[in-house]
Structures are given as structure tokens and as C-alpha cells.
Amino acid sequence: MAVQVRVAVIGSGFGGLGAAVRLRREGVTDFVVLERAGAVGGTWRDNTYPGCACDVPSHLYSFSFAPNPGWPRNFSGQPHIRAYLENIADTYGLRPHVRFNSEVLSARWDAGELRWELETASGTYLADVVVSAAGPLADPKLPDVPGLSSFPGPVFHSSRWDHDVQLRGKRVAVVGTGASAIQIVPSIQPEVERLTLFQRTPPWVLPRADRRITAPERWLHSRVPATRALRRGLLWGIRELQTGAFTKKPDRLGFVEAMARAHLRRGVPDPELRARLLPDYRIGCKRILLSNDYYPALTRPNVDVVTSALAEVRGSALVAADGTTAEADVLVFGTGFRVTDMPIGHRVTGAEGRTLAETWKDGMAALRGASASGFPNLLFVIGPNTALGNSSMILIIESQLNYLVDFLRQLDVLGGRAALDARPSAVNAWNRMLQRRMERTVWNTGGCDSWYLDAEGRNTTVWPGTTSEFRRVTRRVDLQEYQLLRKARIPVEKTGAVR
């Protein structure tokens, strides 16, 4: 038998748990959080690779309504962030609402009843409103490499790390040079016999200003909350001031690039290797990475850097596009996630009988990053064009939660069985504005091919503005941007009976 709820939230990472907290604070208790795994945490549950940590300062990478004065480091590691999310679930009484091992297999809009029908691995749910907080960093992206099935050893993605595989004394190949890879490489380099890094594109890397947060600091943040708020405010303000260089005047990033070049010179004395590690695109075009030990690790005698993509696998031999061959016992892919082609898009069917993936075949687009036309009462947390290139995604998430809460309030005011569907004209106008502003950003003009861009080269991922601006434009739901749907009344047939 189907379970009827007012709101169904998909995912229990930062977005899903944040939505659950806001719902409870709004007085909405008739909701479920549908989680495909057996624990909360989202990407911070899934990513357990060696060295896994955040590249956003801890006091900014947390909810404003749930500060943590006890962060142990400037940049927290995966175990501490996951523990923070587990604590959120406990502190705010969310666990009774979470349905574990309940992967959403399909979600279909019932136009007659004005509600969503969700088939999950644990049963069927009927929901008036669905909040998709599945997240863009949920499903790993693996390249289609010829011969991969012939590799005799363990093969896994960084977000699905196989801890049963012992790396000590093994020949390990790492494919990719993104945020995960630059943490993995220095973490495993000391124990492996040989480490081969396949680098298609070198990243820009800056020093990581990490240190242990002292006990007196933690005590002060706990006893004097204003100091904690000040620290967070400073971290936020600095990044707000930086935004213009990314979104309007990329030439201003020259000083940052000079810092990165100096960091490379200090970390890699060998000029030949240094030349192979120097990017040929403008800094900021891809996400700027932070590490103090990545470059030194690449200079070690047991490390080889192949400056070409992995093109073919011939048994234990890995062949690069430039013909370089390396032998390996273990193959690790640090090749990112399906960001512009999220698998959940194939499972959600809207009012016109089309899936979200079909609707977005020419590029993802959602009004204010939250609503896609033709999908009534479906809201996204971390939707299209909401990602950031230089600040904390928690700020974006909280803004989208403001929008979610106001969306529910509007439905309450409208009363009865009602639904709101984003008008195509509103979605198109919003998307045109975004793409117009995107034209001058470093992500579109910097000369790189990044995960921010879809297969057609459109930037459907990043928000081209400050977090304060995003908060302003998502503070309220504008009903003029939506079409109001009402449940059709079935006329009562007149029988002529005497009453």
C-alpha cells in the first residue's frame, strides 16, 4: 500500500538534511527523506578515499543554523564532516523521517490527482511536493576505455574506494587530476611500489592554508558565539569580494595565477616536470585546487606523470593517448561525477509524459535553480546553475531552502489541492539571463574544458554571481512565474432522485 506524505525529499546529504530541518522548523512533519544507502551523509558518506577532505574552510562549510565550534582544523577531513551530518540528523530529530535503502526508482506526476507517485526500493510513496536533493556529486563518471574489462586487478572510482584492496607494494595507476586525485596521490605515494598518474589536463594548485584549530580557539567559539560568527563572516566576505574576478573581470586573476606559478616552482624543482604540470588555460577556468603535498609527491622517485589521457587497457598494461605504456596492479579513477547528466533525470517523468532527461536534452535549465517547467511541485536543491567556483555550497543550499519554504507557504495560502508549475517563459527568461552573464566569466572564456560545461559547451552548472545575490533572488516565490494547477472537479450526474 502506498504511503501518502506532503513532502518527499530525495537524498540525505547536506541538501536533504537541510531541507528536513527547515521543514520541521516550519511546522511540517508529514515528510520522508528517501535515502538509497544505509546511512545519511551523501557525498561525505560515499567518499572515503585516503586524504579525503574539504577545500572550503570548516566554519563556512556548515549550516548557519547549526554552527560547530569544535571543528578541529581549518579544512576538515571527511570523517569530521560526516560526523557533523550525523549529528544534524540526531540533534534535529530527523531519523524517524529517513527511509534508508529506499532508492527512488521512478517518480511520475499524476496530473489527475496533482501529486507525485514515487516507486522506491522499499515501497511506493505519494507526495504533494518532491524535493530532489540527490546532488550533482552522487554518481561517479567512468570513462569508456577500450579493453578496461581485460584489466586483471582491482578497478574502482575514488568515490567507491575499495578498502579491502591493499596498496602497499603495489603498482597503482590514478586516472585524473581533479580535487580527489590531488588528495589521493600524496596519501598513497609513500606506500605503493610505483604510482603512475594519467594527467589529461594539469590543474592550477594553490597552497592549502590548513592548520589545527587550537583548543583555546574552540573554547572561545563555544563560549562567545560572536567570535564564531565573526570568523564565518570574514571567510564569507573575502570570497564575496573575489567573485567579480571570476564572473566579470577574469584579468584580475593574474595575481592569483602568479601565486600558483610560484607554488609550482617551490614544489617541483625539475624544470622539465614543472613544464608538464603548468596549465595552458586561465586560472579559475577549472576549479582551483588546494594542496601543499601534491607537487612534492609527484617529484618522488616512485612516481611517473603521464601527460596524456588513458586511451586503452591491454591486460595489466595501460596505454596513454600519446603511446606511453605503464604496468599496474590497481587502477583508480578520479574522473569526477555525472553533473550535467544526472541519472535521476531519467527516472523523473513530468506532466507531459517526458522525463527530466528528455526535457533537458538541450541543456539543464530551472527557474532560480529550483523549478523545471512541466514538473509541478518538484523543487531542486543544488539545481542547474547553482554551483560555485570559489565559495561554500552550503550558502547556496540555505538560499534554496528559503525558496522551498516559501513555495510551501504559497501552496498553503492558495489552499485546496493545488500545484505550481514554472512557466516556460519564466524558465527561458531566467536561463537567457544566466547564459548572457556567463559569456564573460572565466569558466566560459578561460580556454578549458571543465565539468562545468555540458556536452554542447553550455555552462549549466555554475551561478555567475555572489552568494548574497543568489539569496536575494531566491528569497520569495513570484507566483507570476508559475502556472497554478487545480484538481478538476468531477461533475455530479443528476439522477432526478427526490432528496
Would you state the pLDDT for residue 128?
98
Q: How confident is the model at residue 451 (pLDDT cuts 50, 70, 90)?
A: confident
The pLDDT of residue 2 is above 70: yes
Distance CA 158, CA 335 (A): 8
Report pTM: 0.94
Percentage helix, strand, coil, to 5, in the chain? 35, 20, 45
> What is the CB neighbour count within 10 angstroms for residue 483?
14
Q: In this model, does residue 495 exceed pLDDT 70?
A: no
Q: Does residue 143 register a pLDDT over 50?
A: yes
Size of the chain, expressed as the number of residues it contains: 499
Residue 456 class from Cβ within 10 Å (0-12 exposed, 13-18 middle, 19+ buried)? exposed
Per-residue pLDDT at 498 exceeds 70: no
Whether the per-residue pLDDT at 135 is higher than 90: the answer is: no
Query: Which range is least confidently modeled, 66-70, 138-142, 310-314, 466-470?
Result: 138-142
> Is residue 387 scored above 50 in pLDDT?
yes
Q: How many helical (H) and strand (E) elements, i.e. helices and strands, does the chain have? A: 14, 20
Q: Residues 127, 6: contact at Cβ < 8 Å?
A: yes
pLDDT for 491 equals 52
The Cα–Cα gap between 276 and 273 comes to 5
Task: Name the grid cell of 35.
Answer: 535515502
Q: Are 43 and 138 in contact (CB under 8 A)?
A: yes
Strand 31-34, strand 3-10: pairing = parallel
> Is the CB of residue 151 less than 8 Å from the CB of residue 29?
no
Average pLDDT rounded to a whole number, residues 417-441: 97
Q: DSSP per residue over 399-465, as a string?
A: HHHHHHHHHHHHHHHH-SSEEEEE-HHHHHHHHHHHHHHHTTSHHHHSS---TTB-TTS-B-SB--S
Structure confidence at residue 136 (pLDDT): 86
| CA distances in angstroms from 382 to 178, 184, 345, 347, 437, listed in the order given | 20, 26, 14, 18, 19
Mind listing the pLDDT tens digit for each residue in 192-204? 999 999 999 999 9
- Average pLDDT, rounded, for the chain: 95
Compute the average pLDDT of residues 60-85. Answer: 97
State the pLDDT at residue 489: 63
| Assigned C-alpha cell, 128 | 504533494
Average the pLDDT over 417-436 and give the result: 97
Summarised one tens digit per residue, pLDDT across range 99-127 is 999 999 999 999 999 999 999 999 999 99
The residue type found at 89 is A
Is residue 314 within 8 A of residue 327, CB to CB? The reply is no
Kindly report, residue by residue over 166-191, the tens digit of the pLDDT.
Answer: 999 999 999 999 999 999 999 999 99
Query: Can you say how many angstroms the Cα of residue 358 is from the centroid of all Cα atoms in its chain?
Result: 22
Residue 319: count of CB within 10 angstroms of its CB = 19
**In the predicted model, what is the mean pLDDT of residues 431-452?**
95
**What share of the chain has pLDDT > 70, as a percent?**
98
* DSSP string for 2-61: PEEEEEEEE--SHHHHHHHHHHHHTT---EEEE-SSSSS-THHHH---TT-B-SS-TTTS
Q: What percent of the chain has pLDDT over 90?
A: 92
Residues 6+ apart with CB under 8 A from 215: none
pLDDT computed for residue 492 by the predictor: 46
CA dist list (Å): 452 to 84, 139, 203, 282, 443: 28, 16, 15, 15, 8
Can you give the C-alpha Rg of the chain in angstroms? 24
Tell how strand 482-486 and strand 418-422 pair up. antiparallel
What pLDDT does 343 receive? 81
Q: Integer distance in angstroms from the first to the last C-alpha of the chain?
A: 37
